[in-house]
Amino acid sequence: MIAPSILSADFARLADEVAAVPGADWLHVDVMDAHFVPNLTIGLPVVEALLRVTDIPLDCHLMIDDPDTWAVRYAEAGAHNVTVHVEAAADPVRIAKQVRAEGARAGLSVKPNTPLEPYVELLRHYDTLLVMSVEPGFGGQKFIPEVLAKVRAARRLVDGGELTVLVEIDGGINEDTIEQAAAAGVDCFVAGSAVYGAADPAATVAGLRRAAAAASGRN
């Protein structure tokens, strides 16, 4: 699965930018509050507007200080997947239950330096694990390959039946890094500048998907 990140899109032309990736599986929306991360992007009103102009499922990544208040609102609005950070959530089990009750998938994200092991039991309440492969906050950063150890650990847990999460990765994904991420066991790849910095975003999405499928061997 390929999820283009609109963080790298032209914010003045978001509807057109969304229309430029018709083959995308999800559309990744980075919500930042300038507190949890040092950047300020978009919020719920923009997500509601996007839902009116696209059928691509929205993958909302909340990089905010108060996900306990806000996560369910994105689910209520119609987001397909709502991801919160374990480092910010006060009651992540409650968040997951609220988000799922609204018919959305619940996602849990970990920063590059956050270990996976303490949160394995918590992930049983979630549908998606988002592994950050850059420090959250800004697009265009260099991929951190060390996070792939967490991906491999998650893949083993999923393949062994201990977890049922979809494994997603976000940060520095492009034609040079997607193969190693796919080989490690990623299911869904967030790609921002690699897609929206390309002359043909739709063709880039298709190319990234082919590369990931070939490297994963799981198709």
- Reported as a single tens digit per residue, the pLDDT across 113-167 is 999 999 999 999 999 999 999 988 777 778 999 999 999 999 999 999 999 999 9
DSSP state, 63? E
Which one of 33, 59, 127, 170 is the catalytic residue? Answer: 170
Query: Active-site residue 30, yes or no?
Result: yes
Ramachandran category for residue 8: left, alpha or beta (phi over 0 → left; psi -120 to 50 → alpha):
alpha
Query: Active-site residue 159, yes or no?
Result: no
Instruction: Please report the pLDDT score of residue 218 as a whole number.
Output: 62
CATH class of domain segment(s) 2-216? alpha beta
What average pLDDT does the structure give for the chain? 95
pTM equals: 0.95
Instruction: Please report the pLDDT score of residue 41 as a whole number.
Output: 93
3-class DSSP assignment, residue 62: strand
Measure the CA–CA gap between 16 and 137, rounded to whole angstroms: 24
Instruction: Please report the pLDDT score of residue 136 as a whole number.
Output: 83
The pair of structure tokens assigned to 210 is 């082919």
